[in-house]
Structures are given as structure tokens and as C-alpha cells.
Amino acid sequence: MANTTIMIEDIDELPPYYPAIHGCRSVEEFHCMNRVEEGTYGVVYRAKDKRTGETVALKRLKMEKEKEGFPITSLREISSLLKVKHENIVTVREIVVGSNMDKIYLVMDFVEHDLKSLMETMKKPFLLGEVKTLMLQLLRAVAHLHDNWILHRDLKTSNLLLSHKGILKIGDFGLAREYGSPLKEYTSIVVTLWYRAPELLLQAPQYSYPIDNWSVGCIFGEFVTMRPLFQGKSEIDQLNIMFKELGTPNEKIWPGYSELPLVKKITFAEFPYNSLHNRIGHKLGKSGFDLINRFLTYCPERRISADEALRHEFFTESPLPVDPAMFPTWPAKSEGGQHRKAPSPKAPSGGKQFQRNQLDVDEDRLMPNTKSSTSSSASQNQSGFHMNVPSSKKGFNIRF
């Protein structure tokens, strides 16, 4: 972005552009106004198209780690976004290139807010009718993704965009991928920690669209409380916080739970009761609390789908969802200036991270059960688990 200070007044001076002849346009045809955000898989800028004067979002794909070829994560992101056209999913207009092939940009519609940054600056929380409107838009987009056999694998409030017209859009498809039937074994190191489903944390070898629906449940709670529901510092801490809030799972409520890889290695403390109602039940009412509980169901097969959730009674009772056009407007931090976000975990790096700790429990996070029974019991009371030393370790091939 070295020449981003070029002004845009002389639109007529640009030569005619014919896509079939010229291929991808140059990024020099855009004037960069400011940097909006940097994620695991790219940096986003606010820019103006010199030909049309339109404001767009430019996402530069991260290529520096690639020794040869095009990053698979970027290919999946482009493929997914081109496949799933939807009002509530960001639109890719075109791909432009810089001075060399390690500078590749996606040109997308510009959306003023990301919901995480917005909620950090709001003086009052969303009204329940506004929460319903946001949830309906999110659920329509997620249902559309799953209908097209695509997993997002990183749904969180910072990846949800909100326009000044009250339209929500899902963005950042850097971890997205297509899936099919029969299911294959994919890396479990996906989804930002605070929104990661229990089957991923417990290293289930196979997973499907319910992982996105767990994230939707976490987002639902965040819309209501204005802060993330489960803020763990590590995978084990995340599980322990979830178990304290929702109760520790067992075979009765989650068939196959005892066979999950991490459950065989660790004995978790028993928390028998779901205490989430004490925290948010009064804010949601009976039907709203039923819906969030169905999203935060441990067993993936019993977890509500996005399509089912759209028909839930929560959305038809008073207060009704508000019209998106009636949403209040807020100053957009993305349109200039720097905004310091509250600290939150970064998106995982997927397959490469999985290879570093494939089915092994990180010694920095776990305490082996090698001490006396007294000290072991004390450590369990403090951290909520103790480690079962396995007799053997079994590995298998994982696809990212």
C-alpha cells in the first residue's frame, strides 16, 4: 500500500478496463483511506474505488508464509464467499493485485461496524427486540451456509458486521471450508477459544455444522449481556468455565462423551447443575432461555440447528423483532482513527497448530497425576480436573 496517498479526483483519466482482456485490476486503482482491522488471515483497509468513487473494504491476503503456491485458507475463503451469495454475508466484488504476486486483495462491500467494537462503545445494551433482529439475520446466514455444506468455523462478534441500515453480515471466512457426507476427520483447532464448541475442545475426531451453532449460542448470550459468556484462558480453562456454568456432561446427556480423546486423559470436576439461568434467564424470558439452552447443548446431535431456531417461538412473542431500518446509528470507528479493543483470543491457526499438539495435552496447561493422592485432590479442586496418564498414544491423519 505504498502509493495510497494518490488522490481520486481524476477518475476520467484512468484507461478503460475490460475484465476479459486485462484480468485482475491493480490495487493502484483504489485509494486507501485507513486500516480497519488485522486478523489471522489478512489485513482489512477502507478504500475508495477511483473509477466509481465507491467506498469498499480491501482485504489483503497474508502470503508471506507461503513458500510456493496460493494459501489454501485464502482459496477456501474466496471459494466460500463466491458460492454463498446472501444478504447477510459479506459480498466479494472482485480480486485485485499489487506490484507482485504476494500482494493479493479481496474487494468487498464496506460495512461500517463490527459488533464487538460496537458493543464495547455502546452506552446502553441492545433492546430485546434488537437482539431478536440481529439473531434472525445471523441465523438466516448460518442456515444458508449449512444448506450449501459450508462450515464457517470462526463465528464471533468481531466477525459480524453491522451497517448503518441495521443489516448484519457475516465476514472473515479464513477458517471456512466445505464439508460433506460421510464426514472426514478435520483439525479440531478451529473457532476462537471463547466460541469453541465442547466437541472441539475435547478433540472429537469428526465434527459438523453443530460447531457453528454452539458459536451462535455464545453470540446470543453476548448480545444480551454485552460481554462474552465463557472467557477461558486455555482450552482446559475454557472447558472448566463451561462445566461450572452448564454442568459437567455425562453419557446420559451426551452419548459417546466418555470416548472422546481428552475425556480419556482427564477427569473433570463434577458440576451437577446448569446455573446459566441465574446469569441471564431474567433478561431473556422463558422462551429466550429455552433457545439459548438448545444452542448450548453439549451433544452435537441434540443441538438446535439454525433452520430450526428460525422457527422458535422466541421470535414471535412480544417484544417483536424491530425493523432493521429502525436501529439506532453509532459513529463508525472503521471510518477513521484508532480504536483499542478489549483483549480477546485470536483465531486459531488451524492445522499447523494441531500438528504441534496433536492429541497431546500441553504440559504447561496440565498437571500430571503423579503426586500423592492428597496433592492430586488439591490440584483437582483448584483447576477442576486431573490428568489420567494414558498407556499409549494413538495418532491419525487430520485434514485442515
User: What HEC string does the chain produce?
Assistant: CCCCCCCCCCHHHCCCCCHHHHCCCEHHHEEEEEEEEEECCEEEEEEEECCCCCEEEEEEECCCCCCCCCCHHHHHHHHHHHHCCCCCECCEEEEEECCCCCCEEEEEECCCEEHHHHHHHCCCCCCHHHHHHHHHHHHHHHHHHHHCCEECCCCCHHHEEECCCCCEEECCCCCCEECCCCCCCECCCCCCHHHCCHHHHCCCCCCCCHHHHHHHHHHHHHHHHCCCCCCCCCHHHHHHHHHHHHCCCCCCCCCCHHHCHHHHHEEECCCCCCCHHHHHHHHHHHHHHHHHHHHCCCCHHHCCCHHHHHCCHHHCCCCCCCCHHHCCCCCCHHHCCCCCCCCCCCCCCCHHHHHHCCCCCCCCCCCCCCCCHHHHHHHHHHHCEEECCCCCCCCCCCEC
Residue extents of the structural domains in the chain: 27-109, 113-353
Q: Which residues are catalytic?
A: 154
**CATH of segment(s) 113-353:** 1.10.510.10
Q: Residue 50's pLDDT is what? A: 87
Position 255 scores a pLDDT of 95
Q: In CATH, which of 3.30.200.20, 2.40.50.140, 3.40.50.1240, 3.20.20.70 is domain 27-109? A: 3.30.200.20
Which residue ranges in the chain fall short of pLDDT 50? 1-11, 18, 20-22, 337-340, 354-383, 385-400
Quote the pLDDT of residue 350.
56
> What are the tens digits of pLDDT across the range 95-120?
888 877 678 888 888 888 889 989 99
Q: How much is the pLDDT for 398?
A: 42
